[in-house]
Amino acid sequence: MIRQGLQQKQQQGLSPLQIQTIKLLELPAIELEQRIAKEVEENPVLDEVISSEEAEDGTPKNVSLSEYSADDPTPSYKLYVNNQGKDLKPQYNTFSVKESFHQNLLMQLGYSDIRGDENQIAKFIIGSLDDDGYLRRDIESLTDDIAFRLNIDTTPEKIEEILHKIQEFEPVGIGARNLQECLLLQLKALKPTEQRNIALSILEDYFDEFTRKHYDKIISRLSISREQLKEAMDEIVHLNPRPGGQIDDSYTEQAQQVVPDFILENKDGELILSMPKLSVPELRVNKRYAEILMNSANASGKSGKEAVSFVKQKLDSAKWFVEALKQRQNTLYNTMNAILNFQKDFFQEGDETKLRPMVLKNIAEKTGLDISTISRVVNCKYIQTHFGIYSLKYFFSEGLVNNSGEEVSTREIKKVLSESIENEDKRKPLTDEELVTVLAQKGYKVARRTVAKYREQLNLPIARLRKEI
């Protein structure tokens, strides 16, 4: 017996416009500019507005699609949209590419007396250095790779000899295999003094005690005073633990710069939010392709229909892209405006303690948007204020209730915790249990495990490692 029945299912599909909007929402300012440029390049229907093509009143000439044949209708829409002002261009930070420390070492190698096969081996060793200047590969594996890739038969002792020559290059400490060797190389390059001799003994014989801050053991075993230990420690802490980074730092700082998606100005106590214009062309429909469509609409034959189909496809794509750009800008502005109103006290002064607990749901309720949409908006987006540039994710944090019954941001608690550690007696730093008591005295009831978690998030070591002489 065959049983038949009906089952009703509801499925939600996204339109091409919605898909396009979602993709554009996730892009930060720089990537959006690149995406628009790519779309203009790939879609011949989208064209750049040229000033000479503008009408006398200054507005570009539009192309109407209402002239298309009724037998082959195409939805009408506005073909021109002024996404950005032509006179406003982004002010990007430009930088010149400087040589890396690898290039710097190769240049020094060219001036050295290392020749022949040794020169090839030295180049291979330099290429094996990490960005911070360390050689973290063992000598035996280097020997095998050199034999395989360079076809040079060598020994670990020979590689060790060449490595020592490279370690004489600038900056001092380059080519070290660990932190201990890096500090020793730098210290040995300095003029010997009593303090530096003590520092050498500490690094050579008591490095583990030094890293664990067991100062009493070091004083006892070296038979030195606490003042002598302090002077030796001053010599060590002034050494560079990342010799490779000192060449690339200027480059790295520039590379990490971001272009803000929002600009917030404080004019006489009034907060004014704006979105910077991108250096992208004003978009309009290419008149040539519009004419092709109109001429082909009444044409007969296979070629005419194919031309109409192609141009319509590109026109629809252009329409969706332009509309998606509009929706993106509106969504971003409304979301940022909601964040601004929610955290108004913070944006007035820039005081972290004024940040209110805020989650994605709070902004979703204020804007009427989905939580997933808010998540896409805040991802990789930045705002420039009169007190610095912040990621939008910075303003989101969970909350805890203080002794007064008020909900405070976890960021506020972290700031109080950081200040408490900063102002502690470094000779007797506060343990996590003591920090719980300090926070409780300031009105924040926090468990010890929570204090430990916040301390780790702030990259602050435990009490023993914060101890100073």
Does the pLDDT of residue 58 top 70, yes or no? no
Q: Is the pLDDT of residue 95 over 80?
A: no
Least reliable range by pLDDT among 267-276, 303-312, 328-337:
303-312
pLDDT, average across residues 68-96: 41
What DSSP assignment string belongs to 126-141? HHT--TTS---S-HHH
94 vs 100: which has the higher pLDDT: 100
What's the mean pLDDT in 350-363?
84
Confidence bin at 9 (pLDDT 50/70/90): low
pLDDT of residue 444: 82
Residue 175 has what pLDDT?
Answer: 93
DSSP string for residues in 352-418: GGGPPPB-HHHHHHHHT--HHHHHHHHTT-EEEETTEEEEGGGG-B-EEE-TTS-EEEHHHHHHHHH
For 240-298, how does the pLDDT look when each residue is reduced to its tens digit (9 = 90+)? 988 887 554 444 444 445 778 889 988 887 888 988 765 445 566 666 766 666 666 55
Q: How confident is residue 467, by pLDDT bands cut at 50, 70 and 90?
A: confident
pLDDT of residue 1 exceeding 80: no
142 near 128, Cβ under 8 Å? yes
| DSSP summary character for residue 51 | G
Higher pLDDT among residues 91 and 70, named by residue: 91
User: At a CB cut-off of 8 Å and minimum separation 6, what does 464 contact?
Assistant: 212, 213, 429
Residue 176 pLDDT grade (very low, low, confident, very high; cuts 50, 70, 90): very high
- Reported confidence tier of residue 165, pLDDT bands at 50, 70, 90: very high
pLDDT for the residue 198: 94
Give every CB contact of residue 376 below 8 A, 6+ residues apart in sequence.
22, 25, 26
Coil, helix or strand for 347?
Answer: helix
Residues 411-465: tens digit of each pLDDT: 778 888 888 898 888 888 999 999 989 888 888 888 888 888 888 888 888 888 8
pLDDT band of 74, cuts 50, 70, 90:
very low
Asked if the model's pLDDT at residue 408 lies above 70, the reply is: no
Mean pLDDT computed over 48-71: 44
Average pLDDT, the chain: 78
% of the chain at pLDDT higher than 70:
74
Eight-state DSSP code of residue 54? B
Residue 57 has a pLDDT of 44
Going by pLDDT thresholds of 50, 70 and 90, the confidence category of residue 324 is confident
Q: Which residues pair with 274 in a beta bridge?
A: 263
Q: Can you give the pLDDT at residue 301?
A: 63
Residue 242: the pLDDT is 87
Vertex 357, ends 351 and 361: CA angle to 5°?
135
Pick the residue with more confidence: 408 or 271?
A: 271
State pTM to two decimals.
0.51
4 Cβ partners below 8 Å, 6+ apart?
A: none
Q: Kindly state the average pLDDT of the residues 81-105.
A: 53
How far apart (Å, rounded) are the C-alpha atoms in residues 437 and 448? 9
- Flag the least confident range among 40-49, 210-219, 319-328, 398-407: 398-407
The residue to which tokens 């081996």 are assigned = 121
Average pLDDT over residues 347-376: 86
**Placement of tokens 């002598």 in the chain:** 228
More confident residue, 78 or 283: 283
Q: Cα dist. 316→14, 76, 207, 299 in Å?
A: 16, 10, 69, 21
